[in-house]
Chains A and B, each alone.
Chain A
């Protein structure tokens, strides 16, 4: 790369043997990040075409906040800028845009997903949580992932956008797959094909709404003005895809991790029942312990020093939210779940201009799921030996299978 030697030295050091795509379990991933944080908080790896790896809170936070140096803008129209290693998916806007193009599209999501808008969605959130639990409550058995963690965020986000219910499962599985399957497997290839199918569906739905606007988020997005003109169709597609990709699998990941933790710590379930206010700090602590988006990539657009390393313009940089969230220098007893931890300035939603615009919706859904689960399935027991985790913890972690039994109850709807 021509620019990489500009600005003095040019040596990329220290060099480590590190590839986060090799992290095949939660414990393996956590251990790898812990070692790196301790020994080399900023380091260069030749893996995935070569990139920096940033693992300490201070440097992760400062890089997230400095969008002028660390850009997330799309460079190759076919390849994601949000991960390293050539992930070929359609663009996600506004996350893959820098200002000034970022601003009007971000504004759309800020309006759509504002705290007030989420409050107005609360009855729909409560409905879908009740509905999902209703489907299993009489039987006394369920899979916490398939029956609770997956369908609820999918229903809430895809209903908000306006997709027909018949599409929900396939859409949710597509993004789930690109985040969780090994990149060498047929399942991953299938997930990529499914994401392309989602792109096609988004275009069809948006074209339909240009003709016949409805009271849904896809109509809102496609009819929105950008700098005095109606938004370009391709930009609207990229915004919808971000809402889908950011909405369906991330909250699923957080929910499955929390239900696993609660499955192993029944005393915390009782605490949530007795003192629902503790759920606020508990939610932040679940986010810190199990950030759904574990890493995000950036590209340096100018030479910059970070953690004593010289990063050159053009270098790829991998920022680890999960490592920052577990950094002992920022969080005392970082490996302990402390339900009332405060302060808790975790970076699970990122920081700076690209911080997750769906954070308010994610928190509202997560809290509602927790509230209803501890009330309606207070004695659920996980079948530990049948729990299956995602095959890869590089970008999104989570639990693929989590069978549980509980005292049967009555439907509410």
Chain B
């Protein structure tokens, strides 16, 4: 799984970090500055919840397989 953050859409709500503190990196102003990364399996849940929490829809999750629950 990879996460991609659209920094044009991020406005610094910082809710991704609350759900995925080990996945999402915030800068000093609270904006998501996560580099596109491969997320290890133990953090998939954090990554997904962080993306779902973003009210701007700024986080895209790219799944490796279609069969992940």
Contacts and interface: CB of A to CB of B under 8 A. Distances in A.
Contacts of A349: 13
A360 interface: yes
A227 B9 CA distance: 24
B4 interface: no
Given A110-B30, A114-B29, A116-B28, A346 B55 contact: yes
Contacts of B18: 280
Interface stretch (B36-44, B46-54, B60-68): B46-54
B23 interface: no
A344 B13 CA distance: 13
A158 interface: no
B56 A65 contact: yes
Question: Which label, helix, strand, loop or mixed, suits the secondary structure of the B interface?
Answer: loop
Nearest to B51: A343
A352 interface: yes
A71 to B, nearest CB: 17
Interface residues of B, number: 19
* Interface size class, chain A: 20 to 34
A115 B30 contact: yes
Interface in A358-409: 359-360
B7 interface: no
A345 B11 contact: no
Interface centre among B28, B29, B49, B54 (most CB of A within 10 A): B29
Interface string A336-359: 000000111111010111010001
A111 interface: yes
B26 interface: yes
A353 B29 contact: no
Nearest to B27: A114
Interface in A298-344: 342-344
B53 A353 contact: no
Nearest to A115: B30
Contact of B11 (A114, A116, A284, A353): A353
Interface in A97-139: 110-111, 114-116
Contacts of A111: 28-29
Contacts of A345: 52-55, 57
Contacts of B55: 61, 345-347, 351
Nearest to B18: A280
Given A110-B12, A114-B30, A345-B53, 17 more contacts: A110-B29, A114-B28, A114-B29, A115-B17, A115-B26, A116-B28, A116-B30, A342-B49, A342-B53, A343-B52, A345-B57, A349-B13, A351-B55, A352-B11, A355-B11, A355-B12, A360-B30
20 contacts: A61-B55, A65-B56, A110-B12, A110-B30, A111-B29, A114-B29, A114-B30, A115-B17, A115-B26, A115-B30, A280-B18, A343-B49, A345-B52, A345-B53, A345-B54, A345-B57, A346-B55, A352-B56, A355-B11, A359-B13
